[in-house]
Structure 1
Amino acid sequence: MVNIDYNMENIKRCLCPGCPVQAKSECVQEKLTKMKSEKGDIPAKEDVPGVYCSTGKTTCDGLDPSQMCQCGKCEVWKEYKLGECEPGGYYCAKGEAR
């Protein structure tokens, strides 16, 4: 399994919050709004609508897997060479990288 650091640097570089797959999920949007309003410490993993390659599947519903995943454009994905791992994308629905 790949060990992707759960830290503020990766949270900030993550493209998941703007991903079309989860754009229409009310739960994701609520988490994103809450995360943006809080400053300081690293938020709990379950409160971040992203870095799923590190944290695993989302706890939110309303995902649309018919939309194009953008993991391949992500700097975290590139740095950790996630194209060589499974599942390779759609971590929000398929779980963390391994």
Structure 2
Amino acid sequence: MPMSRCPVQAQSSCVKEKLDKLKSMSGSPGPEDVPGLYCATGKAKCGDLDPKQMCQCGKCEIFAKYDLSHGKPAGYFCANGKAQ
């Protein structure tokens, strides 16, 4: 599922800018360039995400493989800091 389909990111201009930049980037992007990494890199990099929308993290194979539903915050991006 493309990141742009995530309801939390749907109205984010920050996410749109980062996705557009990724399309034109050569080489490996840094964590700050990828809007969907969220807790893997600490606090979410985009401040205009909509936490009232439902996350779809449970559909991600990596989410299931690493049993991320038991982390905190469970099933949501890290608006307040790094996951534990």
* Residue of structure 2 in register with 1:62 after alignment: 48
For structure 2, the 5+ residue unaligned runs are none
Question: How many Å separate the matches in 2 of 1:34 and 1:65?
Answer: 24
Instruction: Tell me how large the CA RMSD over aligned residues is.
Output: 2.0
TM-score by length of 2: 0.81
Identity %: 57
Provide runs of 4+ in structure 1 moved above 6 Å. Answer: none
C-alpha distance in 2, partners of 1:87/1:74? 16
- Count of aligned residue pairs for this structure pair: 84
CA separation in 2, counterparts of 1:92 and 1:49?
Answer: 12
Higher relative CO (Cα under 8 Å, sequence separation at least 6) belongs to 1
Shift of 1:53: 2.8
Between Structure 1 and Structure 2, the one with more helix by share is: 1
Q: What is the TM-score of this pair, normalised by structure 1?
A: 0.71
**What are the Cα deviations for residues 15-54 of structure 1, in whole angstroms up to 9, with x where unaligned?**
644311111110110001111222432x111111112131
